[in-house]
Amino acid sequence: MERDRNPGTGGETHQHPDAGGDRLTTAQGIPVSDNQNTLKAGPRGPSLLEDFHFREKMFHFDHERIPERVVHARGYAAHGFFEVTDAIPDLTAAHLFGEKGRRVPVFTRFSTVAGNKGSPDLARDVRGFAVKFYTEEGNWDLVGNNIPVFFIQDAMKFPDLIHAAKQEPDRGFPQAQTAHDNFWDFISLMPEAMHMVMWIMSDRTIPRSLRFMEGFGVHTFRFVNAEGKGHFVKFHWKPKVGMQSVLWDEAVKINGADPDFHRRDIWNAIQAGDFPEWELGVQVFDDAFADSFDFDVLDATKLIPEELVPVRIIGRMVLDRLVDNFFAETEQVAFCTQNIVPGIDFTNDPLLQGRNFSYLDTQIKRLGGPNFTHIPINAPRCPMHHFQQDGHMAMHNPKGRANYEPNGWAKGGPRADLKGGFRSFPEEIVGEKRKIRAETFADHYSQARQFYVSQTDIEQGHIADALVFELSKVVALEVRTRMVAHLPHIDADLAAKVADGLGLDGVPTPHTPARKPISDLVASDALSILKNGPDSFAGRKLGLLVTDGIDDDAFDALKEAVEKAGGMVEIVAPKVGGIVTAGGRKVPADQKIDGAPSVLYDAVAILATTEGATALAGMHPARTFVADAFAHAKFIGLSEGTDPLLDAAGVKPDAGVMTIGAAKDAQAFVQTLGALRYWDRKTA
């Protein structure tokens, strides 16, 4: 395997081809020779602390804003537990994984990346998926995303990436979106981001619920067992109720109807006792596999297909308690990738190495000083003994005379544990000290293509539509053209669709790749959301639009069938006071039709008399309730007599529109809802 190469990532340019201007320097005025790579001990070796350029760049970036997070500012979190279902003491000495049935408390925070604290939940964005395990050996923070890869290979570029994605500095917009010139200008000059581009333009970045998305540790870590033997490991969170996303048109409308949609969903689910649950899986492999794999396992822009290394499920996480105070817990929690426990270790992934520096540094700025571990949400649940003292907001200091070590006092405080203390994996490091990137990082298109061809036709269409939408918001024609010129290396049809959607005069001449892409990588079904559907309505919500005079039995049968399937029913009516059934029963509404568009629900049903349907037909919100549900390929249940509303909405029933008369009709309708969408309507 080739290990060394010239600086850069394969000969491609990282700046505008016509760029000139001043020489890049540090804040101290020192000229910079390489702004793409951190200083490493060998091309695949660890990053070196003496890289003053990287430290200064990251230090300044981490301290740009107070008090909200620079990234992942908008988040929501809950408490729960992690339980081991398959002990793995042969792979890791971590006490956490040592015994089946062992439980530890966790605190999990989900977030968007680019938007500020006040941005909407359904922005097209990566979702943070960070879990703090309070173990008997200290806190372990698995700080990941809902996407297994990232935009960049080296942490040196992280400030540039986020600057480009955030609102443009001269105008302060757009916020919480990447559909603007700066982002695509940067991305189009970073071929290594093309794999991530496929993910962010897919439905993965507009999840229906935080409960319905996967999570990933992103990086390759190490397991180390009690004998010191190491294995590489990648971490996966798999939602127990399956994956699901919304359509882009739904996301836009949800953001207007309920910008707190994801927060409210988590709150309501936990309050109702429908606790969100994920399985923790690991991909474990050795050096022999790493050396034979087509790509470098230290490259955060790559993944390992599950078909090559199956995901072994070793535990489950259940979130069963909401926070007592949002600021004290969700806002003040500090996740640091450097927080690991004995039995888990880092690798030389240059993005991970940079994160280990950055996360600690940024917490000091956000939380006022070095004592943020004294805040209850960040404090370990195991005994703590050290000689750290004083500083801002110190809540406890060492007791007694000794505040240093070694010391000779009889009660001289804690001592190092030579046997059970944390030890780094003794990896041999050989290499020149250079700003460099390994040749094995140079393939930027092969896995992007693999991801695309792994999607269903519906999902591929969404990726093309998303690229056209985003690039249509880019003013500079040269940026649009430069971005599209990457796409032929991913898929010729995709390139043609996007070029046509943008009105370009054909597909631009493709960029010269740093390394010839592999065109025959096998599709991976695990990468598709639709190929991994839940086949159940459990955890989903039916929007039930009702009017006065409806049949009691039909109403009760439908509600009972949904709840029996593990779903929820939200009653929508012309007035929030509710309706009166044919039997004289008062049914209060959860929502007034004006504030409950169908985009808020996974499926809808309308129970109305002919008179009631005629009245609904005169209400614009009711007409769009039906029309949008139909346009978004949702299943629709109808009672007899609703034709006036359907006619007014311009909806002609198909096989995804079902009549609910008797109780058996309700059961059949709910059983169908497990498919979540009637996709034949979109492809017709």
Separation between Cα atoms, residue 270 and residue 274, nearest integer Å:
6
Rg of the chain (C-alpha set): 27
Separation between Cα atoms, residue 205 and residue 123, nearest integer Å:
8
Kind and range of the H or E run holding 591: strand 591-592
| DSSP labels, 366-416 | HTSSTTGGGSGGGS-SS--------STT------SS--SSS---TT-----
Residue 72 is a catalytic residue: yes
Smallest CA-to-CA distance from 651 within 674, 617, 679 is with 617
Choice among 72, 79, 219, 486 that is catalytic: 72
Q: Determine the residue type at 135.
A: T
Q: Give, as one character, the DSSP assignment of residue 303.
A: -
Residue 145 is a catalytic residue: yes
| Structure token digits, residue 597 | 């568009």
- Terminal Cα distance for the chain, rounded: 49
CA dist list (Å): 428 to 37, 93, 298: 22, 21, 16
Strands 603-607 and 636-638 turn out to be parallel
Separation between Cα atoms, residue 15 and residue 633, nearest integer Å:
43
Beta strands in 72-212 (DSSP E): 75-84, 103-112, 127-135, 138-145
Contact of 541 with 570, CB cutoff 8 Å: yes
């890289």: which residue's tokens? 51
613 contacts: CB under 8 Å, gap ≥ 6:
547, 606, 641, 642, 643, 644, 645
Separation between Cα atoms, residue 608 and residue 629, nearest integer Å:
17
By residue count, the chain amounts to 684
| Structure token digits, residue 49 | 């602390």
| Structure token digits, residue 239 | 């939602």
Smallest CA-to-CA distance from 567 within 196, 207, 241, 300 is with 241
Separation between Cα atoms, residue 173 and residue 161, nearest integer Å:
16
Smallest CA-to-CA distance from 149 within 247, 248, 295 is with 295
Separation between Cα atoms, residue 244 and residue 592, nearest integer Å:
26
Helix (H), strand (E), coil (C) string for 458-476: HHHHHHHHHHHHHHHCCCC
Contact of 466 with 124, CB cutoff 8 Å: yes
Separation between Cα atoms, residue 604 and residue 569, nearest integer Å:
9
Contact of 552 with 663, CB cutoff 8 Å: no
Contact of 200 with 147, CB cutoff 8 Å: yes
Alpha helices in 430-509 (DSSP H): 446-453, 457-472, 477-484, 492-502
DSSP-based three-state secondary structure for 47: strand
- Work out the burial of residue 217: count CB atoms within 10 Å of its CB; fewer than 13 is exposed, 13-18 middle, 19 or more buried: buried
Residue 369 CB-half CA count within 13 A: 11
Q: Give, as one character, the DSSP assignment of residue 365.
A: H
Choice among 37, 53, 95, 145 that is catalytic: 145
Separation between Cα atoms, residue 331 and residue 326, nearest integer Å:
6
Point out the residues that are catalytic: 72, 145
